[in-house]
Structure 1
């Protein structure tokens, strides 16, 4: 069998194939990143930053401890202060993945006397976030992202 000669055409084909793979992977990752981006957290970060310290201090002054757990197919949200359970108004709550909005759901909480409970179905294994906004009796807004690890 005669030896094959590496020509300029072969070298060009090798380089073109390698860069085509790199370009295809980069375009795929960029496309997926843009399509799964949930959006802006705030329309104008400068305006939001003007009250950040005051909002944080008011929220910390509430002294709330918040936890969320999955019990069967229910999401159990516990909000406690130094005295015991707190029953604020839930302004908004979104349960979803940290990386995309495809699995997001809005739990319909009811209070059972000790904690808020909402049916959420069976959640897939992994990292889940509950993004909570609640209003205290004095009107203070409480915002927190609660990280939950399911099935790990």
Structure 2
């Protein structure tokens, strides 16, 4: 039978805390290293016009969807009648939800029905952070989750 002395108990206790601290430090450094950054520089300033911008964007009554097939990102924007919308300008960043390492700026082209752009992907959860200007000048911003097989 093994007797647990004060010294042995201390070593077991200290070893358990060492494991916990090591794992916590590893997770903290991993989180900071992969942090994609801030959405806005100053959330207070960004919030001042949020209600008006949201109301203007909802008034457009657009339905937006994105899908990737065979390394082609297809973005469809339709109005309330289901007709495709051609915007004044369209910008976006396509990348992983948790890291900026795979971020890409798609070169969208309107084909009469949708916007298409070649992208490099692998399976998993991707985001398209979209910014467009409607034909009437209204700003449209949306983050679209794209699941790639």
TM over 0.5: yes
Q: What corresponds to 1:85 in structure 2?
A: 84
1:142 aligned to 131, 136, 140, which one?
Answer: 140
Question: Deviations along 1:76-132, whole A, 9 cap, x unmatched?
Answer: 0011103411111344211111111121111111111111110003x2221111110
SS in 1 for 2:4: coil
> Which structure 1 segments of 5+ residues have no match?
none
Q: Number of residues paired by the alignment? A: 148
Report SS of the residue matched to 1:139. coil
Instruction: From 63, 66, 81, give the equivalent of 2:64.
Output: 66
The answer to whether structure 1 residue 7 and structure 2 residue 5 are counterparts is yes
What residue number does 1:107 align with?
106
Give the TM-score of the pair, scaled to structure 2: 0.93
Checking the alignment, whether the CA contact within 8 Å between 2:90 and 2:108 is kept in structure 1 is: no
Partner Cα separation in structure 1 for residue 80 and residue 65 of structure 2: 15
- SS of equivalent to 1:103: coil
- Using the alignment, how far apart are the partners of 1:90 and 1:101 within structure 2? 23
Separation of aligned partners in 2, 1:19 and 1:108: 51
TM superposition shift of 1:5: 2.9
Residue aligning to 1:76 = 74
The counterpart of 1:53, out of the listed 51, 54, 63, is 51
Map residues 13-28 of structure 1 onto 2, 5 A cutoff.
13-28=11-26
Q: Which runs of 5+ in 2 are unaligned?
A: none
